[in-house]
Structure 1
Amino acid sequence: MNKGQPIGIVAGDSRPDTFVFSVNPSYIPPLYDYVYVELEEVPPGEAEPRKVKVIAQIRSIRRVGIGLSPEHPWPVLKNLSMPHGNDTIVAVAKVLGYKWKERIYYPRRAPPVGSWVYLADDRLLEDFYSVEEERRLWIGYLVSRPTVKAYLDVEGLKRHMAIIAATGAGKTWTSIVLIEELLKKGATVLVLDPHGEYVAIKKSVARLGSEYVNRVIVLKGRKDQEGDILYRVSVVDLSEDELATIAGVPSRATRIRAVIGGAKKVATQLAKLLGKPALAGLKGIRNVIGCAIDAVEIAKSQSRKLEDYTVQFLRQLGLMLGLGDKSEELKMVAADEVFQRGVRRLWLALRKDTEPGYDAIRYIEELRKIGVYGVKQIRVEEFLRPGTVTIFNLAGLRAEVQDHLVYNILTRVFMARVRYIRGLKGETYPYPVIIVMEEAHRFIPPKTVKQTRTREIATVIASEGRKFGVHLIAITQRPSRVDQDVLSQLQSQIVLRIVNPRDQDAVRDAGEQLSQDLLENLPGLNTGEAVVVGPVVPAPIMVRVRDRVLDYSGTDLVLVKEWMQSFEAEKLAKEYAIEAALKLSRILGGTFDTNNLDEALTKLIGKRVKMPTIHEALLILAREHVWASYDELNGVVTGEAGTVEVKVVLQDGLIQCSTCGQKVCAHAVAVVLRAVLDDLLSTPRTEGLWEWWYNDTTRNIED
């Protein structure tokens, strides 16, 4: 079609925001393509009307038969001789506005019926959607014009944004593209990553250029993760109820909560009065509970009075701290009113039964394994840096811990910015921060669905963050499960394919920028196609998100490939079992095969090893990187199974696993098997050298 020739004429209904036009059959534009009509308008600041080009997007297109209708019976229709193309093509266009002096305005007049409709060329669209170069974030291309780049305005992020899509529609892909662009702009970005999907950015960031290699920080949410820095929270700053909740104690377990609360109060006062901050940590709290249990047991054998219990409790504390029964330090501690309240609370919780005390220790120990909760908290400048993306890896943590860590880090970042802007004393951060929150429905659900701590600070950031330079990008596949007070304040939206009607309603209710016709078209979007509305774009725009450069680990699995890998892993595990049995036979001087491999490993380790554990260990060997080293002098095997650190003292059966503790676990067995397979445990040269490994008559194997 010749450039500048009309492709249709306004016919039928015409309004300032939409018009219907009859399409020239020689050129039928595709759905979502752009057209324009020329209109007389009085732009702001002008006294006389000006001819402007009003841009519109085709939102629906249909063919209408002439002389035919669905009511005609088939016998009549099949005998009709109708020429091909004997129909009328009707399109409905949504008015986007006209550009005047670098701003977009909506017309006040409807296009006159009979006006020519023209196809908008690429240059006109590039000018209409243009964003200043220093502010633009390249997100992709116009859906109907793959030659026209689409940009977001970084300044629009000041009023927050939501990325919404059904699972698999491309929301994480879109966020990765945004992160790439923000990195190029020198932004400080904090990614809250509940599944560890964004950690792969670290290994692929060099693709953006060598200058970006050191501009990604992986902040570990637990000590056994791979990463750069371990996040740390001060237990001292937690309330007693907060600590019990994070530890996973049910709200109805009031006695266990009382034990933890009383022990925390005692431990905090001990640290304060004795000048030993470490006593206020989780280890100190656990030790206080242990002293309380011992004191109750002793007091029960003498009397059931609080006074006798207090004496015994102080004595146990003295032994724990290396202080004498009558030391001045203990006397000072015993006279403290807060300390006395903590002691009384422990007594009331344990006097009838010490079982809540043992349960409390188990909860505290599980929390200790995470490694995040200690005495000192991490400084903001350790994990936030200008021009850097910080990925907070929350994978493998319970929901309560994830919620608390997100609440904690958001509160600290927000308050650091508040102090900087207002010139207040305390911890500050001098640069605006973009927060990318994955799985937002997990952290900020409606109050009626679930109570979370994160919702409190997220609400504050959504309403007040703009003033202090803290800007939120919330990502979710279930907008109907995100608190509407928060969602409604995310003024920009990137909406990919959505199928669920409730989620469509939630998107519509959150703001008025997404028109009904766009909502109706959301289920029909292809993967990677999105509607973008709000301050981040000059006008609503439909884009195809560009290819990403950085990696992430949340892509869909290839099922056949995964199933084949499982067969390969099982096959390799069997081969490892056969080889290990042969080598253990030489090492131990017996005869072992895959059926009694548990007996061989039990004799080797010195602690009962069960066949299911061995099978799991063999699969770890087949699927993950496992290495081992052997200290022959002390009989100690050390190594790693994946990211899990292991130490095994063979003769004594002592095991230390960074994830599983002291039990015989698959990680420990995998490391020992690696040592066997790598011939680190050599065949004995003299009789009796390995006797302690296989002489059942001289030692008792511990179950």
Structure 2
Amino acid sequence: MVVGICIGETSLTEVTFISDEMPKVGEYVTMEYDGKKVLGMIENLIRGNDSLNVDINDFKAIQKISRIGGEDNYIKGKVKILGDVNDNLKLPRTPVLPGTEIQLADEEILDEIFNVKNPIKLGCLVNQSDVDVNVEANPILSRHLAILAMTGAGKSNTVSVLIDQLLNYNVPIFVFDMHGEYKDAEFPNGAVNVIRPKINPHYMNFYEIKKLVNIGGNSFIQERHFRKAFKRAKRDITDGVAQTNNFLQIMYDILEKDSLVEGSDKQIIDVMNKIDDAMDRYSKLFDKDIGNILSNIKKGHANVLDLSQVDESVASVLVSHILRNALQRSKDAAHSGNKKDLLDNSVFFILEEAHILAPNKRDSESKRWIQRVAREGRKFGLGLCLVSQSPKTVDHDALSQMNNMIILRLVEPEDQRHVQSASESLSQDLINQLPSLNVGEAIVLGLMSKVPTLVKIDMFKGRRHGDDMDIVSYFKDSLKREEEEIKRAEKETLDMGYDY
């Protein structure tokens, strides 16, 4: 089917065309010229009328022209060149010849595009529901992914579909669940393994706990006292003589005894005060009776760290601790030279609320380790998925390391600019489509897909808790319950022989 004809000057990356029937944005087309068959995607469409131009300001004149000038309407569009169908989608070396017909891509070409070795089925084409969209699993796991959308656009459903598809491959998935959406979820292709937000201090290094207690880099005397207490506390836990699970309390008690010694340094009290302040914030974080969190990860499970009951500072500590240990463990396995050990330690981390854990304009420990895993993780089998409804506040360095993106509806221009600056393959025309996407529709691009794609994401077939609360129905039903309770009480009163 002929969509249109190329007009004007063409380039190696895009062509303009005129059509007499309206095609759809996101449709794939082909152009044959110079012995090549080139694939493209319609990225932009406009309708116009030469007679009804914007320079006419007389309403009655416009009315008259519109009655007789309907035949002057035209449809103009822009096609992004994706590559030569017969040469592994390599970009052509010569531009399209003006006057070349543009045709809809046939089903055989589309099937070839979405036929991948390790398919992750995300959904179907927005404009062709009979064409399934499969992306390649390996680039997602090794080259990272960002799932970005405004609130209510279908982000949580997309994450759930992705998790369920990855479970097909027995992949160990680790979800930092900020709102408890996935702890009670049911995935058709695998089970959920809920992990408690606790850290055994034995697996924390000195600098992690030092940051928790806010011992400054130039506070050398305080650091010396703190280091001494840290070593003794670890020894007490290892020897089994500690009287409490609270690691900070153990350190506090050690320093308190030191402070009672005649002539002791007054700065011990300053360290105790900082530990006391940290205990208010982190007292529930430590548990000396559990193992390393990473040892609780199960293959083929959605391993969910429930962070819904902890504040942002505790969440940041947990994220940095887990990512630091995972990266170190994988590096140790890589240096051992045993590839199997390296692969056995592979994990795909999904970070909900990435704008909180990796903020763009302030520093945090979690942000530091997210950046490091984003840069180094692919060499050591660690994958990362950043999920956010506020892309503009996600750290730009981390976001730019996401070589794959699933972008649902984004309306705010600053969000759009931030995402575009972090992605080389997101054109302005695709950016312009983001506000017009419906719920559950997304632009998919990156190494996981051979071509940019407009996808209607499948509805998740399992169960989760990420939907908005039906507040009106709750209070409406509560009113009915109150009325029924009053009637029941009145009936019981009458049955007892009382009358009003």
1:94 aligns with 2:80: yes
Distance of aligned partners of 1:273 and 1:458 in 2 relative to their CA distance in 1, 3 Å threshold: closer
CA distance in structure 2 between the partners assigned to 1:378 and 1:573 by the alignment: 51
For 2:158, the equivalent position in structure 1 comes to: 174
CA distance in structure 2 between the partners assigned to 1:496 and 1:93 by the alignment: 21
1:296-695 aligned at under 5 Å gives the runs 306-307=261-262, 344-345=264-265, 348-350=267-269, 364=279, 367-368=282-283, 370=284, 372-375=285-288, 378-379=291-292, 382-423=295-336, 430-446=344-360, 449-564=361-476, 567=479
| Cα shift at 1:458 | 1.7
| Cα shift at 1:37 | 1.3
CA distance in structure 2 between the partners assigned to 1:193 and 1:398 by the alignment: 12
1:277 pairs, out of 227, 233, 240, with 240
CA distance in structure 2 between the partners assigned to 1:273 and 1:121 by the alignment: 71
Distance of aligned partners of 1:393 and 1:572 in 2 relative to their CA distance in 1, 3 Å threshold: farther
1:150-229 aligned at under 5 Å gives the runs 150-157=133-140, 158-201=142-185, 204-205=186-187, 207-208=188-189, 212=190, 215-221=191-197
Q: Secondary structure at the match of 1:373?
A: coil
| Cα shift at 1:238 | 4.5
CA distance in structure 2 between the partners assigned to 1:435 and 1:236 by the alignment: 20
For 1:138, the equivalent position in structure 2 comes to: 121
Distance of aligned partners of 1:391 and 1:289 in 2 relative to their CA distance in 1, 3 Å threshold: closer
Letter in 2 for 1:142: L
2:24 pairs, out of 27, 30, 44, with 30
Unaligned regions of 5+ residues in structure 1, if any?
A: 41-49, 222-230, 300-305, 310-343, 579-703
Q: Deviations over 1:154-182 (max 9, x none)?
A: 12121111111111112221111110110
- Is the Cα–Cα contact under 8 Å of residues 445 and 451 in structure 2 kept in the other structure? yes
CA distance in structure 2 between the partners assigned to 1:71 and 1:143 by the alignment: 36
Q: Secondary structure at the match of 2:373?
A: helix
Distance of aligned partners of 1:272 and 1:357 in 2 relative to their CA distance in 1, 3 Å threshold: closer
Distance of aligned partners of 1:279 and 1:83 in 2 relative to their CA distance in 1, 3 Å threshold: same
Letter in 2 for 1:155: N
CA distance in structure 2 between the partners assigned to 1:193 and 1:568 by the alignment: 35
Distance of aligned partners of 1:191 and 1:274 in 2 relative to their CA distance in 1, 3 Å threshold: closer
Distance of aligned partners of 1:276 and 1:509 in 2 relative to their CA distance in 1, 3 Å threshold: same
For 1:333, the equivalent position in structure 2 comes to: none
Distance of aligned partners of 1:348 and 1:195 in 2 relative to their CA distance in 1, 3 Å threshold: same
Q: Deviations over 1:252-292 (max 9, x none)?
A: 9x99x96x995884474276389733428654753674687
Unaligned regions of 5+ residues in structure 2, if any?
A: 490-500
CA distance in structure 1 between the partners assigned to 2:382 and 2:451 by the alignment: 24
TM-score, normalised via structure 2 length = 0.85
| Cα shift at 1:442 | 1.1
Distance of aligned partners of 1:237 and 1:251 in 2 relative to their CA distance in 1, 3 Å threshold: closer
Following superposition, which runs of at least 4 residues in structure 1 exceed 4 angstroms of deviation? 249-252, 260-264, 280-285, 287-296, 347-351, 356-363, 565-576
- Is the Cα–Cα contact under 8 Å of residues 267 and 279 in structure 1 kept in the other structure? no
- Is the Cα–Cα contact under 8 Å of residues 294 and 322 in structure 2 kept in the other structure? no
| Cα shift at 1:543 | 0.8
CA distance in structure 1 between the partners assigned to 2:371 and 2:247 by the alignment: 35
With 485-494 and 77-86 compared, the bigger mean Cα shift is at: 77-86
Distance of aligned partners of 1:386 and 1:290 in 2 relative to their CA distance in 1, 3 Å threshold: closer
For 1:120, the equivalent position in structure 2 comes to: 105
Distance of aligned partners of 1:137 and 1:220 in 2 relative to their CA distance in 1, 3 Å threshold: same
Q: Deviations over 1:133-152 (max 9, x none)?
A: x4110011111111111111
With 532-541 and 287-296 compared, the bigger mean Cα shift is at: 287-296
| Cα shift at 1:573 | 10
Distance of aligned partners of 1:288 and 1:74 in 2 relative to their CA distance in 1, 3 Å threshold: closer
1:78 pairs, out of 63, 76, 80, with 63
Identity between Structure 1 and Structure 2 (%):
24
- Is the Cα–Cα contact under 8 Å of residues 150 and 390 in structure 2 kept in the other structure? yes
1:229-308 aligned at under 5 Å gives the runs 231-234=198-201, 237-239=204-206, 242-243=208-209, 246=212, 265-266=228-229, 268-269=231-232, 272=235, 276-279=239-242, 282-283=245-246, 286=249, 289=252, 306-307=261-262
- Is the Cα–Cα contact under 8 Å of residues 63 and 90 in structure 1 kept in the other structure? yes
Q: Deviations over 1:497-553 (max 9, x none)?
A: 112222211111112110111112211211111111110100111111111122222
CA distance in structure 1 between the partners assigned to 2:296 and 2:31 by the alignment: 53
Distance of aligned partners of 1:250 and 1:479 in 2 relative to their CA distance in 1, 3 Å threshold: same
- Is the Cα–Cα contact under 8 Å of residues 271 and 279 in structure 1 kept in the other structure? no
Q: Secondary structure at the match of 1:125?
A: helix
TM-score, normalised via structure 1 length = 0.62
| Cα shift at 1:404 | 0.7
| Cα shift at 1:293 | 6.3
Letter in 2 for 1:286: Q
- Is the Cα–Cα contact under 8 Å of residues 245 and 400 in structure 1 kept in the other structure? no
CA distance in structure 2 between the partners assigned to 1:156 and 1:284 by the alignment: 41
Q: Deviations over 1:39-80 (max 9, x none)?
A: 22xxxxxxxxx332x222222222222433233322223345
- Is the Cα–Cα contact under 8 Å of residues 191 and 392 in structure 1 kept in the other structure? yes
Q: Deviations over 1:551-609 (max 9, x none)?
A: 22221222312333565788899999x9xxxxxxxxxxxxxxxxxxxxxxxxxxxxxxx
- Is the Cα–Cα contact under 8 Å of residues 409 and 435 in structure 2 kept in the other structure? yes
1:20 pairs, out of 4, 16, 22, with 16
CA distance in structure 2 between the partners assigned to 1:387 and 1:443 by the alignment: 25
CA distance in structure 1 between the partners assigned to 2:95 and 2:398 by the alignment: 36
Letter in 2 for 1:168: G
Q: Secondary structure at the match of 2:431?
A: helix
| Cα shift at 1:478 | 2.1
Aligned positions, number:
482
* Structure 1 vs Structure 2 CA RMSD: 3.6
- Is the Cα–Cα contact under 8 Å of residues 247 and 288 in structure 2 kept in the other structure? no
For 1:63, the equivalent position in structure 2 comes to: 47
